[in-house]
Chains A and B, each alone.
Chain A
Amino acid sequence: MNYGKAFVPGLIAGLAMAIVGAVLNLFWQEIFPSLKAESATLVFRPEADPLFWAAFICPVFLGLVMAYIWQKSGGRICFFTFCLPSDDPSKKDVLGFATTFIIMALISLLMTYSSFSMSFLMFLVWCDSVIIQYFLGTWILAKMIK
């Protein structure tokens, strides 16, 4: 199996996820100005801190990891087949793969929400971004890795 073939799709999926995450972040800050004010508090890392920008690199690494796993498993890595609505095998793969990653990410986000003094609105917005990013990333991988 040539894992090098997964690199480019992973990079593209990761970059798409990073861009969508950044756009959604800006979008929600426009809709809910309180989020912008909250982001400027001491609870969050300021933009002037170079570590802040690592938040945009993580989705790229995630894209590469997802591509590697998709390549290895052929997209069939669903942990929760019993709850998927589609009968179409290709759609089921995308749904199952994305759902698996989304559920794990949401559990991590719940841990973050319970530990840090962030608002419930911020938590919801992050959950929403995670769901959209993972579906987009998985859809790109399904299209690019045959």
Chain B
Amino acid sequence: MKKVLLSGLVAGIAMAVVGMVCNMLWQKLLPGLEVQYQAPLFRPWSDPLMSLIFVVPVLSGFVMASAWKAVGGKLCFCEHDVKDVTKNILGFVGFFIVLSVLGMLMTYSCFPMSFLMLVTWCVSMVVEYLVGTWILAKMIK
């Protein structure tokens, strides 16, 4: 349990940092995004609730750690040797990505955000999950 909590915390913090870095990179590459974030659609940074976006990846880290401990590489959609760590990681990440992309599509259909923003969120999420799962695979044997 202690190992799950510790690895979840490390993976979650890493995911939060990666998410922030990706967000900054996207805003540098695509300046139009920065303008969109200032629209009334999004919470301003002065709103304390906005800080929850840093807590959510940490919560995700705990869930992923618990999941990795419980099912490990058994989530892979393809048949493979469970000792194949790369396929274990890809299968695990794939599971979370499929569900998260569906959730993001739901968000996209409810809120008038741009398609470009949706794409940047999806790419950042894939990178975050890959980093988080790689850390879990290293820390939970």
Interface size on A, residues (CB 8 A): 39
Q: Whole-angstrom distance from the CB of B66 to the nearest CB of chain A?
A: 5
Contact B59 A107 (CB under 8 A): yes
- Given that A79-B67, A103-B63 are known contacts, is A44 also in contact with B111, CB under 8 Å in the complex? yes
Which one, B40, B59, B105, contacts A43 given CB within 8 A? B40
Which one, A55, A77, A107, contacts B71 given CB within 8 A? A77
Question: Which residues of B lie under 8 Å from residue A117 when comparing CB positions?
Answer: 40-43
B70 CB within 8 Å of chain A? yes
B24 CB within 8 Å of chain A? no
Residue pairs across A and B with CB atoms within 8 Å: the count is: 98
Which one, A46, A53, A62, A114, contacts B102 given CB within 8 A? A62
Q: Whole-angstrom distance from the CB of A112 to the nearest CB of chain B?
A: 6
List residues 41-77 of chain A with CB under 8 A from any CB of chain B: 42-46, 49, 51-55, 58, 61-62, 65, 68-69, 72-73, 77
Question: Which residues of B lie under 8 Å from residue A46 when comparing CB positions?
Answer: 112
Q: Which residues of A are in contact with B by a Cβ distance under 8 Å? A: 42-46, 49, 51-55, 58, 61-62, 65, 68-69, 72-73, 77-81, 100-101, 103-105, 107-108, 110-117
